[in-house]
Chain A
Amino acid sequence: MGSTIIEKIVRNNIGRAVHPGEIVTVNVDRVMIHDIFIPFVASKFEEMGFSKIWDADKAVLIYDHLVPASQVDDTRHFRIGNEFVEKYGMKNIHRADGICHQLMTEAGYVKPGDIVFGTDSHTTTYGCVGAFSSGIGYTEMASILGTGTLWIRVPETIKVHITGKLPENVMAKDIILKLIGDLGADGATYKALEFTGDTVENMTVASRMSMSNMAIEAGAKCALFTPDEKTAAYCNITLTEKELDLAGDEDAQYCRVMEYRAEEFVPVMACPSNVDNVKPVAELAGKEIDQVFIGSCTNGRLEDLMAAAEILKGKHVAPFVKLIVTPASRKIYREADANGTLAVLAEAGAIITHPSCGLCCGRTGGILTDGETVIATNNRNFLGRMGTSKVNIYLASPKSAAACAVAGKIVAP
């Protein structure tokens, strides 16, 4: 019988065929810890009685949620992180280079077929290059740092097959929002998503990243794309046969198959306060807004900033509306600077911050108050995520967000 991508990755990792539902112990290829949780990982690791990291080169520590620090105790996390890195001989540390998920793929820490865990739910992102990656808590992270292994339940797979050409004003973000709306916030819980079809084959790795990033919002354990020549170019590798084989077999077993025609997608938004509360932008048009946020590990990449700049070029953000742009990484910031994107955005009145999680994690970066409305390109619109529980958060694509910033109200791009 054939296998899905996740079944192949686990098989390759443990050296024998597996089937969904089975509980197996896998060897971990890479782990990511970010600044919010490093104090907890460090203390649990020592409490567990470990004295060395199983393979220090496989661990990556990234400061992103607290950069720059907005509260007096924030820098404590940096101090503890710096001490941990020093004590256990870790070399992979990024102190102000951008958002963890962007850096993990961009800096080459993740390759197709890898098994990666991170102390962040959006670790599903690395499925964009065909890696099995998932979020875990800090206690499990501490145990992986000691043992290099983790138990997992092999998930069933939902196949999402998309064919055709996307309309001009539709981005990968609209697809994943629509899918989450269709699946529901728990529609893929414990399951793997697998994306196929010429629409996703024609997508950039950056667009795939937006989709795998948000899979967790349907509860998914991971979200996988078959590695191809774009993946190879992105990761700066030549794909091996094993990596090329990371596609679902024709006779693989899927618990569900969802089929979409690309032409039928329209710009959508996830309305307050659930990611699966998805509606076409056209239905929401006219609602006044106070702020727009373009950034995050979901949509803070170069193509996202360029898409926004295309709409904002020669225009200005509406009066009394703020546009906050937070590129996802230092590399992206510099590329957007080099190709003139930042200048266009700045000219249009954008507030451009240093790459970090920014507003998406709700600690700073554009907090709002009662009755205010924000159009945001990030991944969550939960109650209270960006300020008080009376803030209305609409999640949208960078194109939709930019169009709203110019109009001062919700409009379709």
Chain B
Amino acid sequence: MKGMDKFTGKIWILGDDIDTDIIIPTEYLALKTVQDMAPYAFSPLRPELAGKIQDGDIIVAGKNFGCGSSREQAPEIIKALGIKCVIAKSFARIFFRNSINNGLLLIENDRIQGDVSEGDEITISINECIEHRGNQYPITSLPQNLVDILNAGGLVKAMQRRNNLKGM
């Protein structure tokens, strides 16, 4: 998570139960790369969104973000769009694991949703707090095994290290 200890970004607001079919419909799952799929992200709900998201933006959503399928393209695409972090009231289990394994930062917080509007800027200090217009929202820290994967730069890099691949 180097270079990510503290950052500021513009937010996009999504609701509860943003499922994996909304994040990336199955129709596009056989496209060759995550980059090919990214323009279709969130298309059933907000077809314009993928084109508007800019590097460094942040998603703020309700409960059960990423529910549904095991498709790992979901976090990969969110990352590919330039989203630096997703804040939600809660995350679905498989999405959570997939995000950690791909180095996409997720923050569970159920208070900020009522206080922010789309387009606002917020500042995140890793493992400390979220700041919005002077208000601070504390962040719970992650278990050590997940921090290890994140620190390695994701599961692929962690496995490369295990397998003594050069350059790791």
Contact = CB atoms under 8 A, between A and B. Distances in A.
Q: Do A and B bind each other?
A: yes
Contacts of A363: 26-27, 29-30
Interface in A144-191: 146-147, 151, 153, 185-186, 189-190
Contact of B30 (A71, A140, A384): A71
A135 interface: yes
A389 B26 contact: no
Contacts of B43: 384
Interface string B136-168: 000000010100000000111001101111000
Interface stretch (A46-54, A87-95, A238-246, A285-293): A46-54
A66 B67 contact: no
B92 A189 contact: yes
- A interface, by DSSP: helix, strand, loop or mixed? loop
Contact of A362 (B25, B64, B154, B164): B25
Interface residues of A, number: 52
A212 to B, nearest CB: 15
Nearest to A34: B70
A199 interface: no
The 7 A-B residue pairs whose C-beta atoms are closest, nearest first, are: A384-B44, A137-B72, A49-B163, A186-B64, A48-B159, A137-B98, A135-B70
A190 B30 contact: no
Contacts of A36: 26, 29-30, 71
Interface string B25-58: 1110111100000000001110000000000000
Interface of B: 17, 19-22, 25-27, 29-32, 43-45, 63-64, 67-73, 90-94, 97-98, 101-102, 143, 145, 154-156, 159-160, 162-165
B32 A73 contact: yes
Contacts, number: 139
B63 A136 contact: no
- B interface, by DSSP: helix, strand, loop or mixed? loop
29 contacts: A23-B145, A36-B71, A37-B70, A40-B73, A48-B160, A50-B159, A73-B31, A118-B70, A121-B68, A121-B70, A136-B97, A137-B101, A139-B72, A139-B155, A146-B163, A153-B143, A186-B17, A186-B92, A189-B92, A219-B64, A219-B67, A362-B26, A363-B27, A363-B30, A380-B68, A382-B21, A382-B44, A383-B21, A384-B21
